[in-house]
Structure 1
């Protein structure tokens, strides 16, 4: 038994041992559960995660994915990825088991993303849709490569959107000079645009 009653706090807690990815024996404890059932449910999900059992939910696997990947990319890159995943992917796949998510499920999610429109009737751009799919596929690829998931349902379903996302327009030097003359009386804007244009910087830089 690994679920216990804390009589002093009138709550339940979980304590169990496990072997980590490197074969090291460890122990974990989680306190503060209001009921024994809540404690048992947490224990089951946590054991699946720590034993890398892909019968776990997508949300639980994402925690593993974060631990594996976050330190390998720039913090801003991870933050952008995390924002996208938590807003557009986890709400749909979060409580589904990894081994049960099919290409059909991914296609259904794609349909929702493609048909989405905001309060102004604006839909997602083709490049954003392509990026969303790439993020989902990356998570499944990680499960296939390192945790023995049979296949990547996002890859089977096929991509959506377009990485090109339409034509990108650039100012010629003559066009830029005509524009910059209009903001010469606004020093902050003038110097900001001068730096962006002549240094070839993007807004994020």
Structure 2
């Protein structure tokens, strides 16, 4: 395949534009532009070797990224080569020859029991903003990252339901 990796990335996005959501496309493009194109962009796709990918992995692993982020970056490079192999008949996929860096986010979620929560909430002064936030988060099952939307909490008083917008 006589195309630079940076050129093929554009072909990849054209092919995927109706298949992937906008946010997914933006995330993929960002990771490719930040971590893949600077390293492989000027190389011909068909000339990138497994040993070069290992060197790239070694460099990426020195940058302090989490294991799950490293896996996400690796997945983008793998997507490029898989697409080139399946659709455009790239003869060898060097990603198949190397171990993937990072690991998928396999952290288990740790939930409080009602008793654990009761012990915690007793340390917060009732009636304060934090007390209310923790009450809503725990009893609704919202994640800690959802606390910023509590500002836009909509209460439907007749039905006694709350919704996040």
Asked if TM exceeds 0.5, the reply is: yes
Cα-to-partner distance string for 1:21-64 (whole Å, 9 max, x where unaligned): xxxxxxxxxxxxxxxxxxxxxxxxxxxxxxxxx21110100000
Unaligned runs of 5+ in 2: 150-165
Q: Is the 8 A contact 1:127 1:164 kept in 2?
A: yes
Partner of 2:11: 64
Partner of 1:95: 42
What is the count of residue pairs matched by the alignment? 144
Partner of 1:172: 112
> Is 2:48 aligned against 1:105?
no
Distance 1:186 1:83 in 2: 37
Q: Is the 8 A contact 1:180 1:190 kept in 2?
A: no
Distance 1:202 1:195 in 2: 7
Go from structure 1 to structure 2 and tell me whether the alpha carbon gap of 1:104 and 1:199 turns closer, same or farther (over 3 Å shift). same
Go from structure 1 to structure 2 and tell me whether the alpha carbon gap of 1:180 and 1:72 turns closer, same or farther (over 3 Å shift). farther
Unaligned runs of 5+ in 1: 1-53, 117-122
Q: Which protein has greater RCO, CA pairs closer than 8 Å, 6+ apart?
A: 2
Q: Quick check: which one's strand share is greater?
A: 1
- Match for 1:163 among 96, 104, 108? 104
Go from structure 1 to structure 2 and tell me whether the alpha carbon gap of 1:87 and 1:109 turns closer, same or farther (over 3 Å shift). same
After TM superposition, give the deviation of residue 202 of structure 1 in Å.
7.6
Distance 1:202 1:84 in 2: 26
Distance 2:70 2:37 in 1: 15
- Match for 1:86 among 30, 33, 36? 33
Distance 2:28 2:135 in 1: 28
Distance 1:193 1:115 in 2: 41
Distance 2:28 2:138 in 1: 25
> Is 2:145 aligned against 1:198?
no
Cα-to-partner distance string for 1:118-170 (whole Å, 9 max, x where unaligned): xxxxx1111111111111101110000100101211121221111145x3342
Q: Quick check: which one's helix share is greater?
A: 2
Partner of 1:43: none
